[in-house]
Chains A and B, each alone.
Chain A
Amino acid sequence: MDFMKYFDFLVWFPENVSTFGAELDHLFEVIWWIDVAIFFLTYGLLAYFLIKYRQKPGVRARGYHGNNLLEFTWTLLPTILFGGLGVYCDGAWETTKNSNRIPKPDVEIEVLGKQFNWVFRYPGADGVLGKRNDKIRTTDNLFGIDPSDPHGKDDIIIENDLHLPINKNVLVRLSSVDVLHSFFLPNFRVKQDALPGSWMKVWFNGIKAGKYEIACAELCGASHYNMRGTITMHSLDEYNTWYDTQIKGKAEQMAQAPAPEAKPAEAEAQAGEHHGDAKH
């Protein structure tokens, strides 16, 4: 019975390519079947009563006021069911979001939301992200990288095109330069709001190579719909090759022109919007 698969709403989900995604999808499935059961129970009773007890000549309604035992039962049962469900789902929540339980990261990057692009920072040749400070952020230095920290000089900054290795624990530090955004990786079952002024830890571990989409899930302005990026998952070798190219590119760029002096924020006020509006 092939059509039965449409009965399970999990078929509509985009393909899952992260480790904990399977666990989250499983929870969805558990609740789905509980819901299906409750649906048929309540709708079954409803339909039965509506047909059986429709007005009929000569038949009077029965004037019950209620029954305490029944009230007690249908208070207790949902409490146990829903309470159990809440406890059962907590494990997956802790795994995915509790920052104290994040597994030891293999790759650490930073992600910034900015109207209407995703900006990524990799540590570069030295493998260390330079120190940053939100208070010195400018449009030319979105991460607020401390100019006196040598580790920051070789950091690689990329827009909208994220590359990562599969089967590695990725730790993302997430924030925003302007309004709220939400870092949404549908295939990885990752969603976390990006809050200006706070850095949030997000982690995941991709299990399948390929190119996937990044979306923004929090209304952030007119071009919110167009705040799209991509995430490409490589095998480790492929990733290292890609990363080496980026390091070389950065080295050449640094050799050619020293980083420009930071300009005041307002000077390029409109610059950030071009990408987002490109479509219209």
Chain B
Amino acid sequence: MEAIAVEHSTAHSHDAHDHGHGHHHAQSFIRKYIFSNDHKVIAKQFMVTTIFFLFVGGLAALLVRWKIAYPDQAVPILGSLLPNTWVSDGVIEPGFYSQLLTMHGAVMLFLVIIPMVNGMIGNFAIPLMIGTDDMALPTLNMFSFWLNIPAAMLLMGGFVIESGMAQAGWTAYPPLSAIQGLGQTMWIAGLFLVGFASIMGAINYVTTILNKRAKGMTLFRMPMTIWALFVTAVLITLGTPVLAAALAMLFFDNFFHSSFFIPYGMLASSALDGSRNWTGGGQPLLFQHLFWFYSHPAVYIMILPSMGVVSDVIATFSRKPIYGYKAMIFALMAIGFLGFIVWGHHMFQSGMSPLLGTTFVLSTIVIAVPSAIKVFNWLGTLWGGSIRYTSAMLCALAFVSMFIIGGLSGIFMASAAVDIFIHDTYFIVAHFHYVLFGASLFGVFASIYYWFPKMFGKMMSETWGRRHFFWSFVFFNLTFFPMHIIGLGGHMRRIADPTVYDFLKPFQPMNEFITWAAIALGFSQFFLVFNIFWSLKYGKPAPRNPWNANSLEWAAPEHPGHGNFDTDITVYRGPYEFSQEYREQDYWEQWVPPTEEEKKAEAAYFEAHKGELH
């Protein structure tokens, strides 16, 4: 297999530089830039759509925040543009508020984070880092991107109909989601398609990683990014079908009025048309079990690839091997496996048997261990390093520090007894934004700063990168840290107007503060967009290996074309041979064969340090 892969990539090597000329393949513009099979083009397409949706989801979030902070005041500027069924005199109606928060959650999770860490990072990194010309199944890969477009249209389709968008939250618990109208129906169908796209991508990643590695690239020579993407892809293929099953049943309940999740005696007084009737006899909790059986692994689907990138970025910019490479891989696998047996921690207060609750407390506590191991190993990597504070490194460090806070809040919620009070409060909202924005999204930022040179052949502006990092980091914490506090005050999630409650009145100033911090956080993201455009136009041309890193993507030409590599790739060592004492140069590329002297120096060194744990 490997031999074939290598031959294949050599066959393509001569046109690796043909980007923009097309003399060889004579591809049409459409085949090359739109319906392209090239994994790098698909990665860029994912990059464009996910950043676009990041702003869409962000806008929804800011409207949500405005409503919470100023429930009776008109939204500035936008208030007058929205139709009167959704706002009255510019003030957001509670129903529209629910639509916005549903869209925010669903867009951010399913159209931003998941496609960013898998579609964008996975597509770009996998073939380059394992040293091959493209994915194993390039056409399927193309579909996995394009399916996202109709899926996104369905997901948000309610925007163009009068009854509006889905409004049952991203978790879409029935019976509420089953008794809502067309916007919800389309949302369910859209999510089903997103899942389909996700599975297509994942199958492709697993196949590519298993079959198309360059000669000498053994499994334990793969960079952490590839390991993480591999485990993630396995989680997607095992978990997403369960979500699909739940969504299919929900679709039936919603559209054909079956009763998978509808119990006897339900008075659906708010069903949009009173004529809809359900027989009953179903069990609403079943949906939650199926949903979380997917969605807990899904939170790891959203973060593991980022963890991989962060490991590589930290190693490169500390000039150190990743600490405990194998421990990191086993921790990844442990998280992947345990991720499937902790779903009940989302359901402690749902009416599930409390005995089952105890079981899920224990499994959840166990999964915190590999998370802790990862943190310790990142710290170990920094220890004794020679740290370069590039934008990519800063974002990776933000990942580590924010992930610690997210993990610490997780411990409260993992204890079912403590979770009674904080469940469904802003404490939970704080927790998952620390892990998803603070960690995962900052990991994505790190990946953009790190790979932009290979992606576009230009260096990115470090000045603007640092500005983006700094303001995002500051406003992120100002936005989300206070949410822990209002959560402990008992502030429920998903309420349009907290001023209804006396016990929440003292927290209203904090709510206003959070909203302004969130607005500033939103605007900070324009630094990133500006930087991307500025660097595309004015960025310095990127050298082949700008960060003096070891992994194979840096063996490819400055701006690799279809086919990736211009040389025959053989791998001689692992990806983390930084700062080895027996070598002059503080890195050792995976693809460079050792000279006779180097072999001798290495052997002599290991002879001298026999028995040491190295």
Contact = CB atoms under 8 A, between A and B. Distances in A.
A53 B263 contact: no
Given A39-B408, A93-B361, A193 B349 contact: yes
B85 interface: no
Contacts of B33: none
A92 B501 contact: no
B401 interface: yes
Given A86-B361, A97-B354, A13 B490 contact: yes
B132 to A, nearest CB: 27
Contact of A220 (B95, B176, B384, B414): B176
B319 interface: yes
B489 A12 contact: yes
A34 B266 CA distance: 45
Contacts of B173: 179-180, 218-219
Contacts of A9: 484-485, 488
Contacts of B361: 86, 89-90, 93
Interface stretch (B154-162, B212-220, B230-238, B415-423): B415-423
B504 to A, nearest CB: 9
Interface stretch (A56-64, A161-169, A234-242): A56-64
Interface stretch (A152-160, A221-229, A252-260): A221-229
A66 B325 contact: yes
A96 B420 contact: yes
Given A66-B327, A178-B266, A93 B321 contact: no
Contact of A213 (B327, B485, B493, B503): B503
21 contacts: A13-B490, A27-B415, A38-B404, A39-B404, A42-B379, A64-B323, A65-B325, A66-B324, A66-B613, A93-B357, A134-B265, A182-B349, A184-B424, A184-B490, A186-B490, A197-B264, A213-B501, A216-B492, A217-B424, A223-B94, A225-B94
A178 B268 contact: yes
Interface string B347-375: 00111001101100110011011001101
A223 B377 CA distance: 47
Contacts of A60: 319, 386, 579, 586
B179 interface: yes
Interface of A: 9-10, 12-14, 23-24, 27-28, 31-32, 34-35, 38-39, 42-43, 45-46, 49-50, 53-56, 59-71, 74-75, 78-79, 82-83, 85-86, 89-90, 92-94, 96-99, 114-115, 134-139, 142, 144, 177-180, 182, 184, 186-187, 189-193, 195-198, 200, 212-213, 215-226, 228, 265-266, 268-273, 279-280
A53 B372 CA distance: 22
A92 to B, nearest CB: 4
Given A50-B397, A61-B586, 11 more contacts: A31-B411, A78-B369, A82-B411, A89-B418, A93-B354, A98-B354, A178-B270, A180-B284, A192-B351, A198-B351, A219-B168
A266 B284 CA distance: 22
A82 B368 contact: yes
Contact of B485 (A12, A85, A92, A187): A12
Contact of A221 (B270, B366, B485): B270
Interface in B230-287: 263-271, 274-275, 280, 282-285
A62 B384 contact: yes
Interface of B: 88, 93-95, 97-98, 167-169, 173-176, 179, 263-271, 274-275, 280, 282-285, 318-321, 323-327, 349-351, 354-355, 357-358, 361-362, 365-366, 368-369, 372-373, 375-377, 379-380, 382-389, 397, 400-401, 404-405, 408, 411-412, 414-418, 420-421, 423-425, 484-486, 488-490, 492-498, 500-503, 576-581, 586, 613-614
B169 A14 contact: no
Lowest 9 A-B CB distances belong to which pairs?
A: A197-B263, A134-B265, A225-B495, A222-B95, A186-B490, A66-B324, A61-B319, A92-B417, A61-B579
Contacts of B416: 89, 93, 97
Contacts of B576: 65
B85 to A, nearest CB: 12
Contact of A279 (B98, B369, B497): B497
